[in-house]
Structure 1
Amino acid sequence: MARAENKETAGPATRLVAEIAKMLREQMGLTQEELGAKIGFSAAAVSAMETCAQPASDEMLVALERVLGHGLGIFERARSYVRIDKYPAQFKNYVLLEQRAVGLCLYATLVVHGLFQTEAYARALIGGGYPPLPEHRVEELVEARMARKALFDREPVALIEVVLEESVLRRTIGSPEVMRDQLLHLAECAKRRNVTLQVLPLDCGLLGEYAGARGEMEMVETPDHDHLVYLEPQDESLLISDPAKVSAYAQRYAKIRSQALGPRESLGLIERLAGDRE
């Protein structure tokens, strides 16, 4: 559903796409209703896109490219930038780093990391958050989160390490069926050659050591081989570049990883938990 407040908060890519689409539509002598008929959307949807009341979806951008693009690839290239406009404000800068990263080291303590979420899990998680979001915003965020998965198959390949707390695997999000599919998806991800997935067991602190006590973190290696740390506590964001601080986080991550189950043991645990939900 289009919302008036979106007109004021729309990002630069969304505004540019709206202006270009309107200009090209008018050059072709099409009404909003006529353009909508050609791209499979209502006149109201076209109007909402042109006024930035509702950002263009991936599906609409593909259709706009076919009808208005004249083979230039304008709307096709705009898709990734419009997606960024849809992310929460605190995440927009980081997602650009994530998309270009040559390496990621991730530690998730509460829920499955966004890169590894299924669509159903993400929808249940985002839709069940607080404060409640309108349905159209939930769908925007789910679509944007799923688009991040392109990183797994990108060339050049990105190497991704992730440590998940065992509690993440046992916490049901959505329904037992949703959670089972999520666990099976994690198992498939763990078999990728560019992914190392480990589980930090619930009893890792029995000997008095628990390196993960200070919470989640994401470590990024950029194409220039700079190393950064990203933290996101309570919808805030913090990007750390100071070498001494980054080194301290890297050492902590290494300790967390050393306390986790090995990749094969972790995969076995995930598969057993998925089987328990049948």
Structure 2
Amino acid sequence: MAREENKETVGPAARMAAAVAKRMRVKKGLTQEQLGAQMGYSGAAISAMERLLHPVSDEMLVHLERILGGGTGIFEEMRPLVRLEKLPEQFRGYAPIEQKAVALWLYANHVVHGLFQTEAYARALIAGSYPEPTAERADELVIGRMARKALFDRTPVCGIELVLDESVLRRQIGSEEIMREQLVYLAECARRRNVNLQVLPLDAGLGGEYAGDRGDLNIVETPAHDRVTFLEIQGESLLITDRAKVSTHMQRYAKIRAQALDPRRSLGLIEDLAGVRR
């Protein structure tokens, strides 16, 4: 909803996008109504965007590039910056590090890791969170989460290791169909050459050890070949660069991975839960 107070929360990238859009619109001699008609929006929507009453959306940037960009790619380049501003505050510092990663070591024991979520699964999670987001905010968060998947096909290739607790696979999110789609997608991801996906079974603790008892873990190797740890819980986050601490996290991750099923058995379990015939 377009509100005056929205101006206070609009980030610099969205402000720049609005200013450039207005300048290029005026240069082309278009009214707000004319530009809106070409983009599939009302003139009021264009006015709200330019006045920062309704921050520019990812979809709107696509149309602005088509109508006003003139082949410059200027609005296309703004898209990741605007998306970054709309991510949860605790995630903004980590997101650029993740996208530039050389390698990732991930462990998730509550829900499917964000990088591996389908759109429907992500939407069910986000819409069902507390406090409940508005439909518009939910859309922004889903778009931001799906944009992270560019990492899978990026050049240079990023090596990704993910260990999922078996409880994650069995926890129904959204609906049975949404969960089945999510499991099928996990199986597809597991077959990627740059992905190693393993499942930590429910009986991993029967031997008296359970390395995954401390919760989710994200370890990143940067282009400079430094390693950092990112932790997130209850809307709070921690980015750890201390080498000794990150080394401990890496060793703990190795323990988690050692207690997990091997990749072939892990894929088989995921396919069985998804009802996929092999």
State the partner residue of 2:78: 78
The residue aligned with 2:253 is: 253
Question: Which residue identity does 2:195 align to in structure 1?
Answer: V
Residue 48 of structure 1 corresponds to which residue in structure 2? 48
User: Does the residue aligned with 1:64 lie in a helix, a strand or coil?
Assistant: helix
The answer to which of 185-194 and 62-71 deviates more is 62-71
Q: Post-superposition shift, 1:51?
A: 2.3
Deviation at 1:257, TM superposition (A): 0.5
Q: CA deviation at 1:241?
A: 0.4
The match for 2:272 is 272
Partner of 2:95: 95
CA distance in 2, matches of 1:194, 1:136: 34
What residue identity is the alignment partner of 1:58?
Answer: D
* 1:240/1:246 contact within 8 Å kept: yes
Residue 141 of structure 1: how far off its partner (Å): 0.4
Aligned mates of 1:47, 1:237 — CA distance in 2: 36
Deviation at 1:71, TM superposition (A): 2.1
**1:203 & 1:89 partners in 2: Cα distance?**
36
Q: Deviations over 1:1-60 (max 9, x none)?
A: 444443211111111101111111122222111110111222222122212233323322
Q: Secondary structure, in 3 states, of the residue corresponding to 1:237?
A: strand
Partners in 1 of 2:85 and 2:212 — Cα distance? 32
- Give the aligned partner of residue 230 of structure 2: 230
Match of residue 13 from structure 1: 13
Cα separation, 2, equivalents of 1:247 and 1:202: 26
Unaligned 5+ runs, structure 2: none
Q: Name the residue aligned to 1:111.
A: 111
Q: Which residue of 1 aligns with 2:178?
A: 178
Looking at structure 2, the residues matched to 143 and 116 of structure 1 have their Cα atoms a distance apart, in angstroms, of 14
Query: Given that residues 55 and 82 in structure 1 are in contact (C-alpha distance below 8 angstroms), is that contact kept between their aligned partners in structure 2?
Result: no
**What are the Cα deviations for residues 206-248 of structure 1, in whole angstroms up to 9, with x where unaligned?**
0100011111110000001010000011111100000100000
Which amino acid in the other structure matches residue 271 of structure 1? Answer: E
TM-score, normalised to structure 2's length?
Answer: 0.96
Give the partner amino acid of 1:26.
V
- Deviations along 1:130-181, whole A, 9 cap, x unmatched? 0111000001100111011000000001000000000000000000000000
| Separation (CA, whole Å) in 2 of partners of 1:195 and 1:55 | 36
Q: Which amino acid aligns with 1:72?
A: T
Note the alpha carbon deviations across 1:72-101, whole angstroms, 9 max, x for none.
211011111111111011111100001100
Structure 1 residues 45 and 242: alpha-carbon distance in aligned structure 2, compared to 1, 3 A threshold: same
Matched pairs, number:
276
Superposition TM-score, scaled by structure 1 size: 0.96
Superposition pairs of residues 117-136 of structure 1, within 5 angstroms? 117-136=117-136
Letter in 1 for 2:222: T
Q: State the match for 2:169 in structure 1.
A: 169
Q: Percent identity?
A: 66
Q: Stretches of 4+ moved more than 6 A in 1? A: none
Match of 2:35 in 1: 35
Distance 1:4 1:106, change over 3 A: farther
Of residues 29-38 and 177-186 in structure 1, the stretch that sits farther from structure 2 once superposed is 29-38
Gapped runs of 5+ residues in structure 1?
none
- CA distance in 1 between partners of 2:4 and 2:236 (Å): 26
SS in structure 1 of the partner of residue 182 of structure 2: helix
Provide Cα deviations, 1:116-143, integer angstroms capped at 9, x if missing partner.
0000000000000001110000011001
